[in-house]
Amino acid sequence: MAKSASKSGTSSADKRKPKLGQNFLVDATAARRIVEALGDISQRTVIEIGPGRGVLTNLLIPRARRVIGIELDRVLAAQLRMGYATKPNVEILESDFVTVEFASMVGRRPGPLHDLRPTQAETVDVVGNLPYYVTSDIVLRILELHPHIERAVIMVQKEVAERIAAEPGSRNYGLLSATAQLFARVENLFTLPPSSFSPPPKVHSSVLRLTMAPRLEELRVAEGLFITFLKLAFAQKRKTLLNNLRGKYPEADVRKALKAAGLRPDVRAEAVPLEKSAALFRALQQE
């Protein structure tokens, strides 16, 4: 899995080193566009990843039924809690989104929220201007939570957005693209310059909307095993699929399965659409 580039470098305008990917959005129009990209949230629970100073949270509170902010920074979490003390539909959890259990994100809590308890079947929406040092892990976590999430609107580094949305056969297509497109429809909505943030990062940023639409049944693959297979297939991008797979499977089996899936023996994983990867995976399972 390619790691997203660090956003920690800052321009000469602000030499402070942003901690925990803390480049705060200062473009009010962009903040509104991000929240509007969630659609009608009046009856929805929205989980915000890293509310920071609350630029998105302030817009979510009057629009959503319930807002849950997951903020890792202790000081920011305390400030947000104080700032929203009188707002009954918002909760701030001081947690790491990558590791916090979903049940404890949305679970029952005492206090004024008792009538906002989610039902078992309720899905949530997710929004966040992501801390770029941990983008891949957060995106993979969102995808892993697909049964609980309907849509996610996330800001990521422009190059990472291009990778997530890349088509098979393009240079940018990789494990992150394949995994994202296995679980969601991906739309690249708009791009922002560094000046939209304080402190400004070195990179441009893009907003993606992931609408969950898992393809596991259609592709007839089991989630865990297929993800493990994709990780192996993309293990070394420059190698052919055959070379990446023959560490785990006998070469003759891989050649046979490639043929059965209609793939050339010298194909690389980046050129293979998900349908064909699934056919190859199924053929190998039968060997």
**Site residues (CB under 6 A) for ligand SAM?**
20-25, 49-53, 55-56, 70-73, 76, 96-98, 129, 131, 134
Phi, psi (degrees; rounded to nearest 5) at 190: -160, 165
Q: How far is the CB of 183 from ligand SAM (least distance, A)?
A: 20
Q: Which is nearer to ligand SAM, 132 or 281 (CB)?
A: 132
Q: How far is the CB of 134 from ligand SAM (least distance, A)?
A: 5
- CB nearer ligand SAM, residue 24 or residue 249: 24
To ligand SAM, the closest distance from the beta carbon of 155 in angstroms equals 7
Q: Which is nearer to ligand SAM, 51 or 174 (CB)?
A: 51
Q: Which is nearer to ligand SAM, 72 or 254 (CB)?
A: 72
Three state DSSP letters for 149-216: EEEEEEEEEHHHHHHHHCCCCCCCCCHHHHHHHHHEEEEEEEEECHHHEECCECCCEEEEEEEECCCH
Cβ distance to ligand SAM smaller for residue 8 or 240: 8
Cα 60 to Cα 52: distance, rounded to the nearest angstrom: 14
CA dihedral (169, 173, 175, 180) in degrees, to 10, reads -110
Which residue in the shown chain puts its C-beta closest to ligand SAM? Answer: 50
At closest approach, how far in Å is the CB of 215 from ligand SAM? 28
Q: Quick count: other Cβ atoms within 10 Å of Cβ 270?
A: 21
